[in-house]
Chains A and B, each alone.
Chain A
Amino acid sequence: GDSVTQMEGPVTLSEEAFLTINCTYTATGYPSLFWYVQYPGEGLQLLLKATKADDKGSNKGFEATYRKETTSFHLEKGSVQVSDSAVYFCALSDQGFQKLVFGTGTRLLVSP
């Protein structure tokens, strides 16, 4: 079945450092890809998405590019802030968006 693999955390960075969180997927067909973020004490929020190959999703300085050839959707940010500390989940869905398949999540800790 479909699956998502993302790097284990925690990822610990200093403020203004460059962030990469790796995500690879296995799926039949052409899934849509997502990054969700969960801030402490809050629910899951959609951070960005891409629905077809070579699409780039972006939001709040975060970016991820849908790479079909490497089945990857790595999350990047050029300069992280303390407020970015959260758990980040990579996910995919089929084209009909019947359900999301999530990775295990990566905790990001940013220190001043």
Chain B
Amino acid sequence: DTGVSQDPRHKITKRGQNVTFRCDPISEHNRLYWYRQTLGQGPEFLTYFQNEAQLEKSRLLSDRFSAERPKGSFSTLEIQRTEQGDSAMYLCASSLKLAGGTEAFFGQGTRLTVV
């Protein structure tokens, strides 16, 4: 297994355009998380899925953001009508739900620049 994979690695878009990012988790992991990281800050939680169910969404996730995980495998994060404030690194992580929790494995992220 090659770990958590994110695509694309970099995206430059014009303000007002829609963008979609993809995350492929480690194959046996049933939990998938999205985080956002801005320069000089730690990652901030956006949302997570257990299998195909989206179980929690942060207040940071405005109506312009939507995430899906069809069939409980890969996930997509779409941002509609992008704004300059959306410029950030978007990180995906996956884990296997076990009693007591377990390690989250992170992808290398998608860096979004809105111009």
Contacts and interface: CB of A to CB of B under 8 A. Distances in A.
- Interface of A (DSSP majority class): strand
A101 B35 CA distance: 10
B104 A100 contact: yes
B43 A44 contact: yes
B45 interface: yes
Given A98-B48, A99-B56, A104 B104 contact: no
- Chain A contact-residue range equals 20 to 34
B42 A91 contact: yes
A104 B42 contact: yes
Interface of A: 4, 32, 36, 42-46, 49, 51, 89, 91, 93, 95-105
Interface of B: 4, 31, 33, 35, 40-45, 48, 55-56, 91, 93, 95, 97, 100-109
